[in-house]
Amino acid sequence: MISRYIQNFIKYIPLLCCLTSRDFKLKYRRSILGVVWSMLNPLLIMVVVTSVFSVILKVDSSDMPFAVFYITGSLIFNFFAEATTSSMTAVISNSSLIQKVYVPKYIFIFEKCAFSLLNMVLSSIAVICVMIFYIFTGEVKIHPTIFLIFIPMIFTFLFSVGIGLMLSTLTVFFRDMVHIWGVIITIWLYLTPVIYPIKMLHASNIDWIVRLNPVYYFVDDLRQFMVLGSFPGVDHFVFEGFSCGVVLLFGVVIFKKAQDRFILHI
């Protein structure tokens, strides 16, 4: 059965590529700088956040410069936020195509996550530029572990697909989910050490709440591989693999059970 699903997925890869290309063109249509914004936007936000939290509020990220700390964390979290948010309306926004021809509906969720992954790869150029700057200042060193950054990216992608499948199903039947998720993703941001190091929570004994958050591990892994040159413990990968597996399984089951009724609500 699994091989049949794989063959079916391979059959629709051209459509997946076509939809991704469409979203890419739509995003940068009539934009003067075009794709450059994928690199410029995270740099501009990094300057603002660093000015507020590092210079004004004096947030200490002693393991690395705050600018590097923030931009590496935001790279993963922004990917997760964009992938899940865009996946919510993936089925609804493609209703005209779904009503005309047979297309596996999960393709639309997978495409949104793939497009967000492409945006993250482009945004990685901004991260590399910041890294190079701090390498020249001597505050950051290059490590061989940088070639392992694909690991947290893959984990984030799988986790986002699972969440996206669940969200897209809920949104078909309950449109208010779009607004609710906007609030949830904001709360999720503050439960993820993107703008603050987790050591700040040790004194209040609430860091255990953050450690239940899978996205924290994705962010931490990227920083360890890319900046610190260290390798996360096995417990990291066990928790990440378990979280991705459970979320993906729930997403597939929920989506599969509800997809035949989508046509009645889109």
pLDDT of residue 12: 79
In this prediction, residue 101 has a pLDDT band, given cuts at 50, 70 and 90, of: confident
Among the listed ranges 34-43, 128-137, 178-187, 229-238, which one has the minimum average pLDDT value? 34-43
pLDDT of residue 166: 95
In this prediction, residue 170 has a pLDDT band, given cuts at 50, 70 and 90, of: very high
For residues 162 and 57, which has the higher predicted lDDT (pLDDT)?
162
Mean pLDDT of the chain: 87
**Secondary structure, 3-state, the chain:** CHHHHHHHHHHCHHHHHHHHHHHHHHHCCCCCCHHHHHHHHHHHHHHHHHHHHHHHCCCCCCCCCHHHHHHHHHHHHHHHHHHHHHHHCHHHHCHHHHHHCCCCCHHHHHHHHHHHHHHHHHHHHHHHHHHHHHHHHCCCCCCHHHHHCHHHHHHHHHHHHHHHHHHHHHHHHCCCHHHHHHHHHHHHHHCCCCCCCHHHHCCCCCHHHHCCCHHHHHHHHHHHHHHHCCCCCHHHHHHHHHHHHHHHHHHHHHHHHHHHHHHHCC
Q: What is the mean pLDDT of residues 144-163?
A: 94
In this prediction, residue 5 has a pLDDT band, given cuts at 50, 70 and 90, of: low
pLDDT of residue 1: 55
Name the pTM for this structure.
0.91
Q: What is the mean pLDDT of residues 210-223?
A: 93
> Does 23 score more than 70 pLDDT?
yes
> Does 185 score more than 90 pLDDT?
yes
- The amino acid occupying position 255 is F
Among the listed ranges 29-43, 163-177, 226-240, which one has the minimum average pLDDT value? 29-43
Q: What is the mean pLDDT of residues 84-108?
A: 87
Q: Which of 156, 254, 253 is nearest to 214 (CA)?
A: 156
Each residue of 253-264: pLDDT tens digit? 999 999 888 887
pLDDT of residue 31: 67
Among the listed ranges 53-67, 148-162, 181-195, which one has the minimum average pLDDT value? 53-67
pLDDT of residue 100: 82
In this prediction, residue 45 has a pLDDT band, given cuts at 50, 70 and 90, of: confident
> Does 98 score more than 90 pLDDT?
no
Cβ pair 164, 156 in contact under 8 A: no
For residues 4 and 249, which has the higher predicted lDDT (pLDDT)?
249
For residues 40 and 226, which has the higher predicted lDDT (pLDDT)?
226
Structure tokens given for 100: 């005309």
What's the CA gap between 5 and 157, in Å, rounded?
A: 19
27, 70, 194 from 217: Cα distances, Å: 30, 15, 11
